[in-house]
Amino acid sequence: MSDLRERATALDSADPLAALRELFTLDDTVYLDGNSLGALPRHVPARMQDVITREWGSLRIRSWDESGWWTAPERIGDRIAPLVGAAAGQIVVGDSTSVNVFKAVVAATRLAGEGRDEILVDATTFPTDGYIAASAARMTGHRVVPVAPADVPAALGPRTAAVLLNHVDYRSGRLHDLPGLTAAVHAAGALAVWDLCHSAGALPVGLDAHRVDLAVGCTYKYLNGGPGSPAYLYVAERHQEAFDSPLPGWTSHADPFGMTPGYVPADGSVRGRVGTPDILSMLALEASLDVWDGVSVDAVRAKSLALTDFFLECVAAYVPEGRVTPVTPAPHAERGSQVSLRCEVPEETEPVMRALVERGVVGDLRRPDVLRFGFTPLYVGFADAERAARILAEVLGV
């Protein structure tokens, strides 16, 4: 144990991202649940105080123009863009991830054209994605085909309209092959829709480089936007002119204040808007993104892999073989920024996580038997990883 503690100290001392931890409101808890809700950046409360008291309280309706409220969805989208490898003008912020999945899937089927009536859906996906895809299929006359990501190339065919995939599996932390699968989807003449909820802000995505068609993601995990912060929708520039949103709201109209009965879509990413932007949560997100100024996503990825490697090493050293089994892939090319451990006895899973939380290690679980530990490189260090593994061993009675 002393060797691993000493290594953790040395690794933290050499960590080029270590100083970023001071940008967040944290205590001595080991917080390994940033893959569900990111920590609060310290400066956000002051920014929100100004938004509430001055922009809303004093300027009131004038803030739509004078404080830039009206353009916030596109402006904040342009700030997220570099974090997911996209050029400006392709991301709009607003609505929930679920709503944006609906927009993206329906729009993808419309872009695919006639004769394609199948939507392939990641069979291991976060449940809501599957629910939304099934509803979209019923509404558009398509058929949903559940398929494991690795089996997508073999399942593609002339009837495939769109494929909806998660970049990182929310249970296991497995990183799927976005470049390879997107290329396979395109070779079959279909469109690729990616859910980035568990990858954006943790690893490079490369939306433009890999010619992804549409993508969605939340902002309250690795982007630290706050509980329920608005999601985002990416529409590749080459599709924007033909992008036909199934939710044509007034704020995506070419002349929103004309209030005309006929809908004419705006140009660019604005087409992804629907109703009035949720300004308070949106501006909290915008302030939160300040912590990314000058931060390289490649550096974040390098630290993420080093952290998860070290945590797995500590678990292997501290916890007797067989008590927990890693389900997160060992190869770096297949790993997101979390480590999932399967409990040998499923009934122990919830009591073990409760005990960890009581002892200052906050992770979460997925029933029936998976303990999840998310590693957010902006504020999690190597000493955190060592302490979490050591306390896990103690909780398991070692």
For residue range 20-31, what is the model confidence (pLDDT) as tens digits? 999 999 999 999
Task: Name the nearest CA neighbour of 170 among 205, 195, 134, 207.
Answer: 195
Asked if the model's pLDDT at residue 398 lies above 70, the reply is: no
CA 135 to chain centre: 22
Return the residue matching tokens 């997100």. Answer: 285
Residue 1 has pLDDT above 90, yes or no: no
State percent of the chain over pLDDT 70: 100
CA-derived radius of gyration, the chain: 22
pTM of the model as a whole: 0.97
Mean pLDDT of the chain: 97
- The pLDDT of residue 113 is 85
374 residue type, one letter: G
Residue 357 — pLDDT band, cuts 50, 70, 90? very high
Q: What is the DSSP string of 184-245?
A: HHHHTT-EEEEE-TTTTTTS---TTTTT--EEEE-SSSTT---TT---EEEE-HHHHTT---
CB-CB neighbours of 271 under 10 Å: 23
Report residue 161 as tokens.
């309209």
The model's pLDDT over 236-273, given as tens digits with 9 standing for 90+, comes to 999 999 999 999 999 999 999 999 999 999 999 999 99
Would you say residue 117 has pLDDT above 70? yes
Summarize pLDDT for 136-178 with one digit per residue, the tens.
Answer: 999 999 999 999 999 999 999 999 999 999 999 999 999 999 9
Residues recognised as catalytic: 126, 195, 220-221, 372
